[in-house]
Amino acid sequence: MASDKVLQINDAEFDNTIGSSQPTLVDFWAPWCGPCKAIGPVVEELADEYEGKVTIAKMNVDDNPVTPGKFGIRAIPTLIIFKDGEVVDQITGAVGKPQLIELINKAL
Q: Could you give the angle at the alpha carbon of 32 between the alpha carbons of 89 and 64, nearest 5°? A: 55
Active-site option among 33, 57, 80, 107: 33
In the structure, what pLDDT confidence band is assigned to residue 3 with cuts at 50, 70 and 90?
Answer: low
Give the C-alpha separation, 22 to 25, whole Å.
10
Tens digits of per-residue pLDDT, 23-43?
A: 999 999 999 999 999 999 999
Instruction: Print the domain residue range for 24.
Output: 6-105
In a domain, 1, yes or no: no
In a domain, 101, yes or no: yes
Give the C-alpha separation, 58 to 44, whole Å.
10
**Comparing 2-11, 57-66, 70-79, 95-104, which segment has the lowest mean pLDDT?**
2-11
In the structure, what pLDDT confidence band is assigned to residue 14 with cuts at 50, 70 and 90?
Answer: very high
Q: Could you confirm whether 33 is annotated as catalytic?
A: yes
In a domain, 80, yes or no: yes
Structural domains of the chain, count: 1
Q: Could you confirm whether 36 is annotated as catalytic?
A: yes
In a domain, 54, yes or no: yes
Residue 54: give its domain's CATH number. Answer: 3.40.30.10
Burial per residue of 82-105, b for 16 or more beta-carbon CB atoms within 10 angstroms, e otherwise: bbeeeebebbeebbeeeebeebbe
In a domain, 61, yes or no: yes
In the structure, what pLDDT confidence band is assigned to residue 8 with cuts at 50, 70 and 90?
Answer: very high
In a domain, 30, yes or no: yes
Q: What's the predicted TM-score (pTM) here?
A: 0.95
Active-site option among 6, 9, 25, 36: 36
Tens digits of per-residue pLDDT, 56-66?
A: 999 999 999 99
In a domain, 49, yes or no: yes
